[in-house]
Structure 1
Amino acid sequence: MGIKVLAVDDSRTIRDMLALVLGEAGYTVQTAEDGQDALDRIDDFEPDAIISDINMPRLDGFGFVQAVRRVERYRATPILVLTTESAPELKARARAAGATGWIVKPFDAEKLVRALQAIAG
């Protein structure tokens, strides 16, 4: 089955692009439309890595990352933040919440796959 990636973004276009790019790279992808949707799906999917936007309704990326890190089985799961934001203070906040890395949108497919390979194999 390969490595499973949970991709969380409120933009259907971004979710579809992530599913396509990561699927072509051999990953099994589950998408979620915001942090709450992702938390509702995470235990059924049990991802090996997570990619999450920051600015989302219901539960934003910071809250989602913090919630994931509170669950024992996901404490070491790599989490890449994928967002239009690039401010250093937001990167620091994401790291403090438990994010593993940060990629700014629009993303380059090859760079995204390389970053995912670096953190999740």
Structure 2
Amino acid sequence: MYSMSNDQNSRPTIMVIDDSGTIRRAAATILEQAGYRVEQAEDGFEALARIGDCRPALVLCDILMPRLDGYRTCALIKKSRQFHATPVLMLSSKDGLFDRARGALAGCSASVAKPFSRDSLLSAVREHLPAGDAMFTHH
């Protein structure tokens, strides 16, 4: 199991929310190999229940999930005083104008197209991490 908080090494924590275990594991592997801490959640409800404990620097959230979709999950994260400034990137196989606009209205910072490559995922994460965490690089 992954650690529930950032340690003294200040490795940024990224929360990956996706109902597909394959997608979660793929994203987690890429991010962990790049030196990030990763918290995984199967859906929006699990993410909302755990976000306060892991305090991620950035959230990757699938759009199409059962029970609570990515747009509503993002909007609820953004309504939180503690996490309103946390970047949320949507993971989506949908890349239409409507979907991007709906994501922007929910408060998402950007979207990452699925299937994603290592480079596209890491580029999006580094671009949207808060300034202090964006300086983090793993050699």
The verdict on a shared fold, with TM-score over 0.5 as the criterion, is yes
Partner deviation per Cα, 1:2-39 (whole Å, 9 max, x = no partner): 11000000000000001100000111000001111110
| Equivalence for 1:61 | 70
| Equivalence for 1:25 | 34
Alignment partners' CA distance in 2, 1:33 and 1:115: 21
What count of residue pairs does the alignment treat as equivalent? 121
Alignment partners' CA distance in 2, 1:75 and 1:100: 11
Structure 2 regions of 5+ residues with no counterpart?
1-8, 135-139
Question: Counterpart of 1:18 in structure 2: which amino acid?
Answer: A
What TM-score do the two structures reach when normalised by structure 1?
A: 0.97
Structure 1 regions of 5+ residues with no counterpart?
none
Alignment partners' CA distance in 2, 1:118 and 1:15: 20
Corresponding residue SS for 1:110: helix
Which of 3, 17, 22 lines up with 1:8 in the alignment?
17
Corresponding residue SS for 1:74: coil
Alignment partners' CA distance in 2, 1:26 and 1:83: 24
More helix by share: 1
Question: Counterpart of 1:67 in structure 2: which amino acid?
Answer: L
What TM-score do the two structures reach when normalised by structure 2?
A: 0.85
Q: Which runs of 4+ in 1 moved over 4 A?
A: none
Give the CA deviation at 1:115. 1.1
Which of 102, 114, 118 lines up with 1:93 in the alignment?
102
Are 2:45 and 1:36 equivalent residues in the alignment?
yes
Alignment partners' CA distance in 2, 1:117 and 1:86: 21
Corresponding residue SS for 2:82: helix
C-alpha RMSD of the superposition: 0.7
